[in-house]
Amino acid sequence: MNIVIWDIETDSSNTFYGTIIEIGAILMNDNFQELDKLNIRCRLPEGVIPQAGALLVNQSNVSMLTQANYSHYQMLQEVETTFKKWSPAVFMGYANINFDDEMLRKEFFKGLRQPYLTNTNGNKRQDGLNIVRAAFAVNKQLMKTEINDKGNAIMKLESLARMNGIESSGAHNALFDANLTKLVLEKIYKDQNVTWRSAMLTGSREEVENFARNETLFSTSEYFYGKSKIYLVAPLHPEYMLHPLYKWVQAYDLRFDPNAHINLSLEDLKNEMKKSPKFLRTIRSNKAPVLLHSDYGFKEDPYSAISKDVLMNRAKIIRENKDFCSRISLALSEIAQEKRDTGSQLDITPEESIYSKFVDNKETPKMEKWHQSSWEDKLKLLDKFEDERLIEFGKKIIYQEAPEVLSENVLKDIKRGIATRILSTNKEKWTTCSDFYTECDHFRNKFESEGNTKKIEFLNEINQYVENIEKKYEAA
């Protein structure tokens, strides 16, 4: 199966409200031979306030934010077209599961596109960082790493590449970082292929579930407080193996004796499940975990101090005790419901609602037709949508791309909406002008004390850019 290694640069670290401004991607076959590339940058959408820190990291100046060849809408269209052309494939980046994937999903959602492109229609996904951590847990001599103040290996992409002789001075350009990821992973592919092959077996929720159902016990690699750690676990009885709400695989940590938990009441079981260290390990089936053979766990502390026969017997007890596993499932359900009851859905904005309310499938053909239509027709077609969020997103896209087709009243409403957000002096979920100035002043003071005139000039230019946006919307 082909592999797509990709990376993004953004104007913010907030996946709900941030904007992708650059994407780099490499298509290759399963032997790491490059087949195609994508390198694309866009202009920052109208009325968006960036985070100063994000722009300092990816070195996006005002010229880049305002003069790129593609608009934001055009860039997302090109990315969707290319990724569909490259499918089916395994899509992966470096720490992409919790950031790049989330950002792209939410950008596609707000852009009236299918959000789950990288893990549907035969596509799978993995995370280069998960693979590196698993490989390091198996063999700490595989790669050279820097060590932090706490004595832990540093797994940042640029550091890891540099320590292993890979040129990394262009890091934080999307295509450059995608290539760094490729080169780091290629080392694992060549030098520790068993870990690479294991990672390729768990790129989808279904693959993870099937793996767990077919194994009496196995090893899982997790990362806590700067350390990669291997756990030896036994999945619960197949009927109760998945979390009742989140559908993640549930497995028993074999360092614990099941007899200590089997006869507990439901309330006592819930209390034990909340304690640390946990006897129940959650394997997030949709987050591309790297699952390994049980042999790795047998060699790790504290499992190595327990006889193999005892561990095998514990796994068998868990697998065969349907009643115990059903009570664990019930306890998980009640704990999840307690969390839901204490949470509030009242302040969720349309941008944040991607997971709380899925778009109805009947809207899909409308979205496809919408993208194929002229801007005038796009405005008319918004009346066909039943999902109010899509209507709101669609109007904002038209405002960004073809404001001339909007009526004066709609234009005023959108401008007032943007003004209300970006001019707010409250602590908001998105970046306001006030947030930007505070952050910019912080960095400016830092660079002044260091005598870094280049960075100060960069910040002053971005500051002027934001001031111009502020002035425009103060009159809205």
Q: Which two tokens stand for residue 461?
A: 């230019």
- Do 125 and 90 form a contact (C-beta atoms < 8 A)? yes
Q: What's the rounded Cα separation, in Å, for the pair 81 and 115? A: 13
Which residue bears the tokens 């006869």? 263
pLDDT in tens, the chain (476 residues): 999 999 999 999 999 999 999 999 999 999 999 999 999 999 999 999 999 999 999 999 999 999 999 999 999 999 999 999 999 999 999 999 999 999 999 999 999 999 999 999 999 999 999 999 999 999 999 999 999 998 999 999 999 999 999 988 876 799 999 999 999 999 999 999 999 999 999 999 999 999 999 999 999 988 887 788 999 999 999 999 999 999 999 999 999 999 999 999 999 999 999 898 999 999 999 999 999 999 999 999 999 999 999 999 999 999 999 999 999 999 999 999 888 777 655 579 999 999 999 999 999 999 999 999 999 999 999 999 999 999 999 999 999 999 999 999 999 999 999 999 999 999 999 999 999 999 999 999 999 999 999 999 999 999 999 999 999 999 87
| pLDDT recorded at residue 346 | 59
- Hey, what long-range contacts does 195-198 have (CB within 8 A, 24 or more apart)? 195/131, 195/134, 195/135, 195/138, 195/290, 195/292, 196/131, 196/135, 198/134, 198/290, 198/291, 198/292, 198/293
Q: What's the rounded Cα separation, in Å, for the pair 220 and 291? A: 5
Q: What's the rounded Cα separation, in Å, for the pair 255 and 314? A: 9
Q: What is the dihedral of CA 141, 134, 15, 436, to 10 degrees?
A: -20
Phi (first) and psi of residue 153, to 5 degrees: -70, 135
Read off the amino acid at residue 272.
E
Q: What's the rounded Cα separation, in Å, for the pair 47 and 421? A: 10
| pLDDT recorded at residue 212 | 96
- Write out the H or E segment, with its range, that includes residue 31: none
Q: What's the rounded Cα separation, in Å, for the pair 421 and 351? A: 13
**Strand 124-127 relative to strand 34-41, pairing:** unpaired
Q: 218: helix, coil or strand? A: strand
| pLDDT recorded at residue 227 | 81
Read off the amino acid at residue 438.
T
| pLDDT recorded at residue 22 | 98
Taking residue 362's Cβ as centre, other Cβ atoms within 10 Å add up to 10
- Do 253 and 280 form a contact (C-beta atoms < 8 A)? yes
Which residue bears the tokens 């002096």? 425
Q: Which two tokens stand for residue 439?
A: 């952050």
- In sequence order, what are the residues at sequence separation of 6 or more whose Cβ sits closer than 8 angstroms to the Cβ of residue 263? none
